Amino acid sequence: MTGAGETDVGQAMYELASSLFPICRSLTGQGVRDTLDVLAQTVELQRRAVATGTPLFDWVVPPEWTIRDAFIKAPDGKRVLDFSASNLHVVGYSMPIRRLIDLAELKRHVFTLPDQPDLIPYRTSYYGRTWGFCMSHTKLMSLPDAVYEVCIDSELKDGQLDYGEYIHRGRTEDEILLTTHICHPSLANDNCSGLALLAMLANAMRGRDTRYTYRFLFAPGTLGPLAWLSANEDRVGRVKHGMAVSCVGDGGGPTYKRSRRDNAVIDRVMTHILTGEGEQARSVPFSPYGYDERQFCSPGFDMPFGLFQNSAFGTFPEYHTSADNLDFIRPEHLARSYRIVTDAIDILEEDWIPISLNPKGEPQLGRRGLYASVGGPSSGGHSTMPMLWVLNLADGRHSLIDMAERSGLPFSQIIEAARRLREHDLLRPG
């Protein structure tokens, strides 16, 4: 059952996603800066800018793209496509154009979804010098044979790539890195939802005393992580756990894609959490296609970095279409995603390696008030079995998450058992 606090955070995330939704974002440009401005009202961001032409390993920061207006006009002067109605209507990074063309040529520059004829697709052409429009297939098929005026009032010029980060200092310099991409325009699940979740989480971390230092990265896809990695190669080793977050506002999944290592602690923690999230929950292997986890998991870095989503990218019919709107995401789904990520943080913060102070034989729990007074482990199983598992595996080689995995018990029961055993001087930290 969803509690009042969870309902409140879900609604707050939905409202933040709603304020981000109308902004026209791309790899670069004012839309990214406007988005960072909105996020900065929730979390205190440090802003970074990387100039056009800057090498990012095998990539280069592209020119900055600005778009002011775009339309297709029929001979009667009526706009049959208007950028102001949806920023999905223009192929991202389209070159400027204004001329008259016939319907046959127009169709060569219009992208539609024949299988979803009433939806507008989302398309980009970041590195090809071209231009194009996106519209519903139904609308395109309704256009009469005529000469149309096409206009894309855009500009490509030297500028910068912008991203933001928030750092919550912990007791150690070991880091947990959480990232989300900021480059998609009006797509609610992909990725206003991820932006809202990490902004709300970063804000909530401010008052928390943590062992780890937390770094939240809000950056354009691919190039943003590459820019961060390029500028922070000397600190990559400090990142002990990492996760990209996107598509967390729909009712599917949840889904976790494991890191290239496949068995990193973050992989095991997320897999453990998802075992309690219903039949749809999945932990899937790494693949080199996806989101920003690819950059952190590239062989030159091979970081312990996964991807958390509800429905996995490309698997839901609304993906990269105008149907990925504010009706598609819901506060309750955002709240569940937020809880899962915070559960992971709680486990990572609370995990430790216990060593038994009475390892020869099973300690007598009864005289310490830790064992059922009548019957055996079955009658007191809910409280006793976690303690028995912890004591048996407290050999200095197993952490609490190891014990939860091995026993099949929830981490919450394992850590509570370890706490009680430590209070009775049966354990010490390894």
| Per-residue pLDDT tens digits for 14-56 | 999 999 999 999 999 999 999 999 999 999 999 999 999 999 9
Among candidates 157, 190, 135, 143, which has minimal Cα distance to 20?
Answer: 190
User: What integer pLDDT is reported at residue 378 of this predicted model?
Assistant: 44
Cα–Cα distance between 47 and 190 in angstroms, integer?
Answer: 22
**Amino acid (one-letter) located at 330:** R
Is pLDDT at 374 greater than 60 in this prediction?
no
User: What integer pLDDT is reported at residue 43 of this predicted model?
Assistant: 96
Mean pLDDT of 409-419: 94
Cα–Cα distance between 48 and 314 in angstroms, integer?
Answer: 30
Q: What is the CATH architecture assignment of 65-157?
A: 3-Layer(bba) Sandwich (3.50)
Q: Where residue 371 falls among pLDDT bands split at 50, 70, 90?
A: confident
Q: Over the stretch 199-233, which tens digit does the pLDDT of each residue have?
A: 999 999 998 999 999 999 999 999 999 999 999 99
43 contacts 156 by C-beta, under 8 angstroms: no
User: What integer pLDDT is reported at residue 128 of this predicted model?
Assistant: 85
Task: Give the range among 66-80, 141-155, 347-361, 370-384 with minimum mean pLDDT.
Answer: 370-384
Q: Where residue 372 falls among pLDDT bands split at 50, 70, 90?
A: low
Is pLDDT at 351 greater than 50 in this prediction?
yes
Which region, left, alpha or beta, applies to residue 262 given φ > 0 means left and ψ of -120 to 50 means alpha? left
Element (H, E) at 349: helix 331-350
Mean pLDDT of 368-387: 63
Q: Specify the higher pLDDT residue, 378 or 323.
A: 323
341 contacts 298 by C-beta, under 8 angstroms: no
Is pLDDT at 382 greater than 70 in this prediction?
no
- Cβ-Cβ contacts under 8 Å for 294 (sequence gap 6 or more): 222, 288
- Cβ-Cβ contacts under 8 Å for 339 (sequence gap 6 or more): 6
Mean pLDDT of 122-133: 94
User: What integer pLDDT is reported at residue 383 of this predicted model?
Assistant: 76
Q: What is the dihedral of CA 384, 385, 390, 391, to 10 degrees?
A: 70
Q: Quick one: what percent of the chain has pLDDT higher than 70? A: 96
Is pLDDT at 6 greater than 90 in this prediction?
no
Is pLDDT at 328 greater than 50 in this prediction?
yes
Element (H, E) at 307: strand 305-309
DSSP SS3 for 149 = strand
Among candidates 147, 333, 162, which has minimal Cα distance to 248?
Answer: 333
Determine the topology of domain 4-62+160-350 in CATH.
Aminopeptidase (3.40.630)
Is pLDDT at 326 greater than 80 in this prediction?
yes
Mean pLDDT of 108-114: 98
Per-residue b or e along 351-389, where b marks 16 or more CB atoms closer than 10 Å to that residue's CB: bebbebeeeeeebebeeeebbbeeeeeeebeebbbbbbb
Is pLDDT at 159 greater than 60 in this prediction?
yes
User: What integer pLDDT is reported at residue 2 of this predicted model?
Assistant: 47
Cα–Cα distance between 228 and 234 in angstroms, integer?
Answer: 11
Q: Over the stretch 228-267, which tens digit does the pLDDT of each residue have?
A: 999 999 999 999 999 999 999 999 999 999 999 999 999 9
Is pLDDT at 7 greater than 50 in this prediction?
yes
Q: Which residues pair with residue 81 across a beta bridge?
A: 72
Break the chain into its structural domains and give their ranges: 4-62+160-350, 65-157, 354-429
Is pLDDT at 86 greater than 60 in this prediction?
yes
Task: Give the range among 87-101, 113-127, 369-383 with minimum mean pLDDT.
Answer: 369-383
Q: What is the CATH architecture assignment of 354-429?
A: Orthogonal Bundle (1.10)
User: What integer pLDDT is reported at residue 4 of this predicted model?
Assistant: 53
Among candidates 137, 159, 148, 144, which has minimal Cα distance to 65?
Answer: 159
Q: Quick one: what percent of the chain has pLDDT higher than 90? A: 92
Q: Over the stretch 180-202, which tens digit does the pLDDT of each residue have?
A: 999 999 999 999 999 999 999 99
Is pLDDT at 375 greater than 60 in this prediction?
no
User: What integer pLDDT is reported at residue 377 of this predicted model?
Assistant: 45
Cα–Cα distance between 352 and 418 in angstroms, integer?
Answer: 10
Mean per-residue pLDDT of the chain = 94
pTM of the predicted structure, to 2 decimals: 0.93
User: What integer pLDDT is reported at residue 207 of this predicted model?
Assistant: 86
